[in-house]
Structures are given as C-alpha cells and as structure tokens.
Structure 1
Amino acid sequence: MKTKILVIDDEENIVELLQFNLETYDYIVDYSYDGFDGFLKAKEIKPNLILLDWMLPNISGIDVLKKIREDKELKSTPVIMLTAKNMESDKVEGLVVGADDYITKPFSVKELLARISSVLRRYSINTSREEEVLIVKDIKVDLIKHEVTKNGEKIDLTLKEFDLLKILLQNKGKVLSRNFLLDKIWGYEFYGETRTVDVHIRYLRKKIEEPNSNEKYIETIRGIGYKID
C-alpha cells in the first residue's frame, strides 16, 4: 500500500514543488492551503505523514499541531513542520507540542525526502509481542494501545512524552544521554538544543510523579542524562 502524505501550506508554489517531488517517489499526495481545512482533511484521509507549515491563515500551524495531538484518531500521525522560523525557541516549541521533525525554508528537497523517510521508518518499526506492556512500580505502559496508566488511572501523555517513557523503560537501569534520546526520538542530531529533552522530561515527571513525594521514577544523572531503575 502506498504511503499517503498530506501537505498543509498556504504557498501554492511550495505545495506544487512538494507534490511533484513526492509523487516522483511514489507517495500519494493530498494538500490544503488552510489550517482548519487541513485538519479536517487529515481526519478524512488519515495520512501516514503530515507536512505542516507554521505560518498559515486563520489558524497557525502550531495550533493545528495541537489539535492533531489532541485528536484520538490523529494523535499518533507523524508531523514534520515546514517554516521560515529558525529561532531555537520556535523549534523547541514545535517539538514540545509534538512535531517529529522541523525543517526551515528554503529547504533542500533531498534533505526533506530523507527526513520523511527517516520519520516513516521510525513509525514503521513493529513492537514485538514480548514487549506489549512495560511496567515500572505502579505505572504500566501498553505499547499496543499506546496507553499509560498509574494505579489503573489513565495518564494523558503527548507523543514525545510517551516515546521518552517507553525508551527509558526499555533501557531500565541504563543511563541514556540527552544526545542519544534526541537521536532515537527525533531521528537526527539536534545539535545545541539538548534542553529539548530536559523540557520533555520535566513535563513527563509532572504527569507521572506525585507532587511533594520523595519517590522519583526518572533519575537525573547530572552532566550525563537520565535513567529509570
């Protein structure tokens, strides 16, 4: 089955360029010039990946991304942000909300195609039946249902928070560096912005750890990285 990619961008020349190159590589391409319409189209066609522009009319790309990550059917859909914004704070915001990758305009089509391939490859890795459920203390991570519970109560995590918790649990007892986590979860070296991991870990801790409790799930190894025992 061919891979479906939805392009949400208000620049017609960019859409035409992307459509031509993606279809050359045998992708099925649909598109929208508006954020609201793009979100509705995503719900209709359920693409395998979304290329999402930050600067859109009526609703920003970052707000569309938030809607995607909050939607039950779309929340696990990989999203690559396309934007002229190249400030570190903008990149961090996009990644924290749930972007899988980030490329600034003007961009190389070859680089974009490589990143699309990398993101799709990460999502295509099947979870083995032996690792359907991961457990630490009173927290259970169901990798098939993509669900996290604590004492039986569901915890809502963003896609990146879920991926962080999963990889830490799959490597229990090991110290994982920030660069390692960036490479495994975001799929490429995000040089100079390892604080992205720290921000996600902080949000994750708020959701899985009890306030004012001495019991910690994620241990910080200063100067090195993080681990779960």
Structure 2
Amino acid sequence: MKKLTVLVTDDDQDIRDGIEIYLKNEGYHVLKAADGLEAIKLLEENEVHLIILDIMMPNMDGITATFKIRAVRNIPIIMLSAKAEQSDKIHGLSVGADDYITKPFHPLELMARVKSQLRRYVDLGEYDEPSEQVIGLELDVAAREVRVEGEPVKLTPTEYKITELLLKNAGRVFSISEIYELVWNEQAYNAENIVAVHIRKIREKIEVDPKNPRFLKVVWGLGYKIEK
C-alpha cells in the first residue's frame, strides 16, 4: 500500500511544522493547511487518510470544517483544542470528530492516537482504495476531468464540482441544499432553480438521452445521485 497521507490543519505555523516532523518520522506523507477552507480545498485535490484539525481558526473553524467534511467523507478526524471543557469535547465529537486532544499535548501521545485511528480506518476495513469509476463514467481528479466511455466531457468549473461530488459518493442522495452548500460554499437560499439548471446542463453533456438518464438520477422529494 502506498504511503498514508495526514492533513495537519492549524493556524499556528509552529504547531503545523512541529507535528509534521513527528509524522514524517513515522513515515507519513504530510499536507498542511492554515484554516478549514484551505483544508477542504486540499481534501478535494488529494487523497487523505486522516486529518488533524484545530478548532479555533480564522476563515473557517474546525467545527464547521468537520461538519462539511463529514457530509462527503468518512476519514478519521482528530481535533485539537486549547479548551479542556467537557462540553467542547462533546461538541467536537458530536459533529463527527473521531478523537479529541487538548493543547498542550505530548507529540508522542498524538502519534499514538494517529496510529490508532489509521489502524482502525485502514487495517480493519473501513478504508477502500478509491475507485471513482462508474460503468462508462470516470472521474480524473488530477486532471479535473470527467469522461464518458473514455471521452472527456467539457464541463464548467461549477458543473465539474457537482459531478465530482456525486461521483465520489456514487449511490448517495444529496439534497439540493447539500449540493449548493458544498459546491458554492455558502448557505442555501432559493437554491432549487440554480442547482436544477446545472443538473440539466450536466445531463445534456454526460447522458445519451438526458430525459432518460443512465447516470445522474433524481430521487423525487430527496435530491440527486449518480447511480453505480
């Protein structure tokens, strides 16, 4: 198996760099982000196996980032916080974090928790090597390209993001609000027409018969999905 990747997200560069040293000594590949927005962007562009995520950060805090990540990914998240109150720990775990460690912490304790979470995720079967190909429909994340029967499809950046979201989570139904908030990165308000127009355009580009779609399906009253 290839080297596992850990994403370290903290607005303190010294903390990011310090954790990176210990992770690299353990043989992990390391990505670093200064806030939740940067972390989510790196997650969209890279295969990540675990996230170390600070709670208090500018632009997007760790709680909000965890909520957004959990909408699309099941990778382990270890939260870091300067707050030791039980309520903060419960809040972090309730939105989807797998573990919680209070600053200041001993690096070896953090490494032990990283290994524990990765063992559960990778060795015990919760992680599958990614397969982003649905019969006839293929996603190339590196090239930011969608192909139908091997032929590239010209999508706008927004159309690509919607298709990428649905393809990475093939079979899962996303509501209109979820699609809007995850793709446009803002609260959904009167989003029905906006999303519907983009879905229609995507269908026209990836379906042989857009009125009888093979891939991009509507689940009435719930939302949209790409079927395997």
TM-score bracket relative to the smaller structure: 0.5 to 0.7
Structure 1's consecutive aligned runs of 4 or more residues displaced over 2 angstroms after TM superposition are 145-148
Deviations 1:16-49 (A, max 9, x none): 1011111011100010112111111112112100
Shift of residue 147, structure 1, vs aligned partner: 8.8
Can you give the 5+ residue segments of structure 1 that lack an aligned partner in the other structure?
A: 128-144, 155-229
Letter in 1 for 2:9: I
Matched position secondary structure for 1:120: helix
Q: Which moved more, 1:48-57 or 1:31-40?
A: 31-40
CA RMSD for the aligned pairs? 2.2
Matched position secondary structure for 2:105: coil
Deviations 1:116-173 (A, max 9, x none): 011111112127xxxxxxxxxxxxxxxxx9999xxxx99xxxxxxxxxxxxxxxxxxx
Q: Counterpart of 2:195?
A: none
* Distance in 2 of aligned mates of 1:14 and 1:8: 9
* Distance in 2 of aligned mates of 1:7 and 1:111: 16
Q: Does the 8 A contact of 2:35 with 2:61 survive in 1?
A: no
Q: Which has the larger radius of gyration?
A: 2
Matched position secondary structure for 2:75: coil
- Is 1:43 aligned to residue 44 of structure 2? yes
Q: Counterpart of 1:109?
A: 107
Matched position secondary structure for 1:112: helix
Normalising to structure 2: TM-score of the pair?
A: 0.54
Letter in 2 for 1:32: A
| Mapping for residues 85-164 of structure 1, pairs under 5 Å | 85-124=83-122, 125-126=124-125
* Distance in 1 of aligned mates of 2:99 and 2:67: 15
| Mapping for residues 181-220 of structure 1, pairs under 5 Å | none
Aligned length: 130
Can you give the 5+ residue segments of structure 2 that lack an aligned partner in the other structure?
A: 127-168, 175-228
* Distance in 1 of aligned mates of 2:170 and 2:78: 21
Q: Percent identity?
A: 42
Shift of residue 78, structure 1, vs aligned partner: 0.6
